[in-house]
Amino acid sequence: MSPFAVKAIQLLLSLSFLIVLHELGHFIPAKLFKTRVEKFYLFFDVKFSLFKKKIGETVYGIGWLPLGGYVKISGMIDESMDKEQMAQPPQPWEFRSKPAWQRLIIMLGGVTVNIIVGFVIYMGILYVYGRNITTNDDLPQGFAVTEQFKEYGFQDGDQILSINGEPLDDVLEINRYIFVRDVSKVEVKHADGSIEIIEVPEDAGSKMFESGIMPAFTPRQGTIIDSVWADYPAQKAGVLVADKIVSINGQEVQYLDEFQKIAEANKGNENIVVIARGNQLDTLKIIPDDKGTFGITFSNEKLRSQLGQTKIEYTLGESIVGGFGFGYNTFRDYVAQFKYVFTKKGATQVGGFGAIGNLFPDVWDWQSFWATTALISIILAFMNILPIPALDGGHVMFLLYEIVTGRKPNDKFMEYAQMVGFFILIALVLFANGNDIYRWLFE
């Protein structure tokens, strides 16, 4: 099965699971408050359904358009725009006849379930799989640091000791902390053994995003070649898999970042590369292509397999506490990075189903599947609570207005608001998926 198919199946399975649970979050309180639910659908049934069956007063079904799902609640102005029903006198079983606090609980149910599901999945992952972290002991060569962050005082080979005075369990989280959290001081141990506290500017995260420095810190790795691309300059020059680059243009290199820096400075020109093959040294002349590409990749997979060697096991109680903390931090960090969407560059980074699908690995792995599903569940919770008409957050916004002022927005206003919100959502979906298509074609 192709990697694309594996990602697509995981995406469909994950979204189906989360959509059904989200809609149950509306369905259950609606039934508890004796509100009639006319439809419960996975995906949208525009013109026809793939499956439907009426049980009691509710039609359960699967639509053909996989853009979400819905429950149709009697007496509610929603995406169905059922004006005929709303023109009739209110009935006791209708949404509009219920007290505002009950309607608020019904509307918050989906988001609440998505938050709970995300947290519970994280708890389950910690209990079943534990957690692999990377400590400084697991990363003896430290980090390779981008040039911009060297201006702050960081150096290649640094090890991260603490952030704002607190040690990091997983040193690989340094990038996420600087990107979305309030980091002012980072204590590092340089390659020469000296220890320094470096002050980080408040706008360091924004600079990371705007300049495309993602990540700013990468685990330092050697120069053993993992693969050689067919018909690229390196292969034509005689480079083989497992060769180790010893020097380039007369300068010795131990690490990939050193090689990349020298190669970048000589971009487009001939490079004299000395490689070690077994016990022999060989000198090759390589002229990269117009884009500066040699056509080689290094031992990324081998490097990743060496990271995260410290495994933490969790008891049931510890997994509940740890999963809650993990879920909270995931939600907080996602909300924090949402501000970048409103920048010029951020708008181009918005993605649709393609971007979501790429969150999944290209081989089936249950731990990764559930971790990604938990992340998507938390993202769905946040996106759904945004105060946009046609989303749960839009309904909540109007209900809070009603509770505070004691005045209910009239039906005509709600109809127009729903239409505006619906068109906003369609525009966002088209824009996000258009970005996916553009990146697929041109990047």
CA-based angle 414:415:420, to the nearest 5?
A: 95
Cβ(376)–Cβ(359) under 8 Å?
Answer: yes
CA 226 vs. chain centroid, Å, equals 27
CA 328 vs. chain centroid, Å, equals 15
Rg of the Cα atoms in the chain: 27
H-run or E-run covering 261: helix 256-265
Question: How high is the pLDDT of residue 106?
Answer: 96
User: Which has the higher per-residue pLDDT, 153 or 361?
Assistant: 153
Tens of pLDDT, residue by residue over 3-62, are 888 999 999 999 999 999 999 999 999 999 999 999 999 998 888 899 999 999 999 999
Tens of pLDDT, residue by residue over 264-286, are 888 878 999 999 998 899 999 99
Cβ neighbours of residue 322 closer than 8 Å, sequence gap 6 or more: 122, 123, 126, 131, 314
Cβ neighbours of residue 83 closer than 8 Å, sequence gap 6 or more: 415
* pLDDT, the chain, mean: 89
- What is the token pair recorded at 270? 């001939």
Tens of pLDDT, residue by residue over 131-175, are 988 899 888 889 999 989 999 999 999 999 999 999 998 999 999
Least Cα distance to 154 among 142, 166, 164, 165 occurs for: 142
Cβ(261)–Cβ(271) under 8 Å?
Answer: no
Least Cα distance to 371 among 122, 74, 182, 16 occurs for: 122
Cβ(94)–Cβ(3) under 8 Å?
Answer: no
**Sign of torsion over alpha carbons 405, 406, 411, 415:** positive
b/e map 374-396, b = 16+ CB within 10 Å: bbbbbbbbbbbbeebbbbbbbbb
Is the model's pLDDT at 305 over the cut of 60?
A: no
Model confidence at 85, in pLDDT bands (50, 70, 90)?
Answer: low
In the chain, the amino acid numbered 116 is I
| Distance between CA atoms of residues 87 and 204, nearest Å | 56
Tens of pLDDT, residue by residue over 205-222, are 888 888 878 889 999 888
C-beta atoms surrounding 241 within 10 Å:
11
Mean pLDDT within 405-425: 85
| Distance between CA atoms of residues 4 and 128, nearest Å | 28
Tens of pLDDT, residue by residue over 233-263, are 999 999 998 899 999 999 999 998 899 889 8
3 state DSSP class of 364: coil
The partner residues of 52 in beta bridges, in order of sequence, read: 61
Supply the DSSP symbol for 70. E
Question: How high is the pLDDT of residue 84?
Answer: 64
Q: Where are the alpha helices (DSSP H) in 2-42?
A: 3-32
The partner residues of 63 in beta bridges, in order of sequence, read: 49
Percent pLDDT > 70 in the chain is 95
Q: Where are the alpha helices (DSSP H) in 68-173?
A: 83-86, 100-129, 147-150
Is the model's pLDDT at 394 over the cut of 70?
A: yes
3 state DSSP class of 400: helix
C-beta atoms surrounding 128 within 10 Å:
12
| Distance between CA atoms of residues 123 and 30, nearest Å | 28
| Distance between CA atoms of residues 110 and 40, nearest Å | 13
- What is the token pair recorded at 123? 């708890």
- What is the token pair recorded at 364? 């089936």
Is the model's pLDDT at 299 over the cut of 80?
A: no
Give me the residue label for tokens 């190669």: 263
Question: How high is the pLDDT of residue 80?
Answer: 57
| Distance between CA atoms of residues 391 and 398, nearest Å | 11
Mean pLDDT within 395-415: 88
User: Which has the higher per-residue pLDDT, 203 or 345?
Assistant: 203
CA-based angle 98:109:118, to the nearest 5?
A: 175
Is the model's pLDDT at 353 over the cut of 90?
A: no
Model confidence at 301, in pLDDT bands (50, 70, 90)?
Answer: very low
Find the distance separating the first CA and the last CA of the chain, reported in whole Å: 25
3 state DSSP class of 215: coil
Poorest-pLDDT segment among 59-63, 300-304, 371-375: 300-304
- Residue 275: exposed, middle, or buried by beta-carbon count in 10 A (0-12, 13-18, 19+)? buried
